[in-house]
């Protein structure tokens, strides 16, 4: 059981690295960086791009967990592993697929990791959105 927890913590660390890399990329990219001189439509486009980047990071993280479930034969196939991982990571938890008994604690670590990564994404997105009121005039020109 200890080595399964070590795998879970390695996957958690992988998620942190993927997330930190994605969000740092967003901060460094001039196309994704909030600019207080943007117009409303440019802000909307920025939000769409940031959302896509954040969802992409989450999908990579979900795929990493799924790959381990598939590789260890904890799920019957990659499609099932991806589905299970997505419902676990997002804490939806349908319960129609379950891990073998010896892997269930790993699923719990995935759910906790997903909660933290989603919270990190939310905080990051809020930080960007909170800069919008300074930039967009209350009554735009017509």
Q: What is the pLDDT of residue 27?
A: 86
For residue 27, what are the contacts with CB-CB under 8 A and spacing of at least 6?
33
Residue 32 half-sphere exposure, CB side, CA atoms within 13 Å? 18
Alpha-carbon span 140 to 45, nearest angstrom: 17
Q: What is the pLDDT of residues 50-85, one digit of tens each?
A: 999 999 999 999 999 999 999 999 999 999 999 999
Phi and psi at 29, nearest 5°, equal: -80, 125
* Predicted confidence (pLDDT) per residue in 5-57, tens digit: 999 999 999 999 999 999 999 888 877 666 666 677 888 888 899 999 999 99
128 band by pLDDT with thresholds 50, 70 and 90: confident
Reported confidence tier of residue 136, pLDDT bands at 50, 70, 90: low
pLDDT at 142 over 60: no
**What's the pLDDT score for residue 28?**
86
Residue 117 near residue 17 (C-beta atoms within 8 A): no
pTM of the model as a whole: 0.87
Q: Is the pLDDT of residue 94 over 80?
A: yes
Q: Which residue segments constitute the domains of the chain, with CATH numbers given?
A: 2-27+40-133 (1.10.287.70)
Contact call for residues 26 and 32 (beta carbons, < 8 A): yes
Average pLDDT, the chain: 90
């Amino acid at each position: 059981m200890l080595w399964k927890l070590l795998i879970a913590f390695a996957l958690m660390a992988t998620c942190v690295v993927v997330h930190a890399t994605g969000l740092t990329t967003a901060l460094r990219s001039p196309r994704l960086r909030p600019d207080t001189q943007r117009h409303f439509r440019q802000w909307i486009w920025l939000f769409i791009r940031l959302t896509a980047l954040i969802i992409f990071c989450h999908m990579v993280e979900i795929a990493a967990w799924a790959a381990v479930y598939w590789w260890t034969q904890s799920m019957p196939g990659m499609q099932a592993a991806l589905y299970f991982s997505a419902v676990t990571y997002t804490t939806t938890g349908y319960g129609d697929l379950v891990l073998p008994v010896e892997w269930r604690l790993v699923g719990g670590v995935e759910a906790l990791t997903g909660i933290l990564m989603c919270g990190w994404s939310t905080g990051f997105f809020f930080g960007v959105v909170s800069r919008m009121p300074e930039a967009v005039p209350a009554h735009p020109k017509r």
